[in-house]
Amino acid sequence: MSPPMERCSAAAEAPSQPPLRPCNWLTRPPSRPWWRPVPIKPCCSSPKAGEPSGQPVRPSGVEIRAGTAGGRTGRRWHRRRFRRPDAPYYLLVTAGGFIKRIPAKTIENARAEGIVCCRVPENDGIIAVVAHGEDDEILIAKAQGKVLRIETGAKLRPVPSASAGTVSGVKLDPGDRVVDATTVHGNSLLCVHSTGMALAVALDEYPVKGRGTGGVQSVLTDRPAKTPAGELALITCQSPGSTVTGFTGRGTIFHVSESDNPLLRRATNSRGLLTLGPGDTPMGWATPQWGGRIGHR
């Protein structure tokens, strides 16, 4: 059993919201058979009357500053939560399917007031920042259940200029949007729906495709027929023996290991994983995932 973490960080909160009150983290629960729901525990107290509900606000405007989803950041947060020791690049991914690859040196001199590192289209916003290496592959997930696997390296040129915009990363169907992104590592990909259902699939089932294509169907959002799994919310890669920690929009945390989910074929019915309260939904990963999303939607 891993030791409990000291405090939960408020750095993942959207810049426009007040920080959550600190509280103690919970220790990792014992392993459970995959067919049992993974319990989630309160992490932060609910907002008081008149305070925001805790639901993140998608960024608007055209400037994205280093270290946040749509605001400014100080150098301290940038160093502790944004950097990856062996990652010379960051991939910025927007909800509209656009991407921009920037060298790490672009944000090394971030000031307290922030620096502009990307300009995104109006009515769009960055939802994922993926730290990655020279030749890492990236998985980009969409709400309607498709996942695209792309190459970086020579296939995706890094652009250090802040004035440069984005390029097409993934093709979207009408009404669809990008919800998450991560690097390819480990053995399997865990896809978590907005309802708490999930599906674990071997990474070999996701072929590499060209940038700007639609990807392959990873999960079914309208199955099972009686209790549809709903939109895809989060993805993360897993390895045997590893545990990932996530959080929900209403201040609860959950721990998931690869043994909690049997490996199934993609585009099969998802299984129950999390027990969520009314109006709650998985929101992001609470601990830095090398190659996973930094912050939350």
Model pLDDT for residues 164-213, shown as the tens digit of each residue: 889 999 999 999 999 999 999 999 999 999 999 999 999 999 999 999 99
Number of domains the chain is built from: 1
Q: What is the pLDDT of residue 36?
A: 43
The alpha carbon of 172 is separated from its chain's Cα centroid by a whole number of angstroms, namely 18
Structural contact between residues 238 and 173, judged by C-beta atoms closer than 8 angstroms? no
* Residue 1 within any structural domain of the chain: no
Q: Residues 278, 53, 190, CA angle at the centre, nearest 5°? A: 55
Closest CA to 116 of 92, 149, 144: 92
Q: What is the pLDDT of residue 119?
A: 86
- Could you give the CA distance from residue 189 to residue 179 in angstroms, rounded to a whole number? 15
Closest CA to 174 of 135, 140, 214: 214
* Residue 83 within any structural domain of the chain: yes
State pLDDT tens for residues 212-248: 999 999 999 999 999 999 999 999 999 998 889 999 9
* Residue 291 within any structural domain of the chain: no
- Give the range of the structural domain holding residue 95, as residue numbers without chain letter: 41-285
pTM of the model: 0.72
CATH number at residue 239: 2.120.10.90
Q: What is the pLDDT of residue 7?
A: 43
Q: What is the pLDDT of residue 131?
A: 92
* Residue 70 within any structural domain of the chain: yes
Strand partners of residue 93: 99, 128
* Residue 21 within any structural domain of the chain: no
The alpha carbon of 247 is separated from its chain's Cα centroid by a whole number of angstroms, namely 11
* Residue 160 within any structural domain of the chain: yes
* Residue 23 within any structural domain of the chain: no
Mean pLDDT of 278-294: 70
Give the pair of three-digit tokens for residue 270. Answer: 């998802």
* Residue 3 within any structural domain of the chain: no
Q: What is the pLDDT of residue 24?
A: 32
* pLDDT above 90 (res 87): no
Structural contact between residues 203 and 238, judged by C-beta atoms closer than 8 angstroms? no
- Could you give the CA distance from residue 269 to residue 125 in angstroms, rounded to a whole number? 31
Give the pair of three-digit tokens for residue 66. Answer: 């280093």
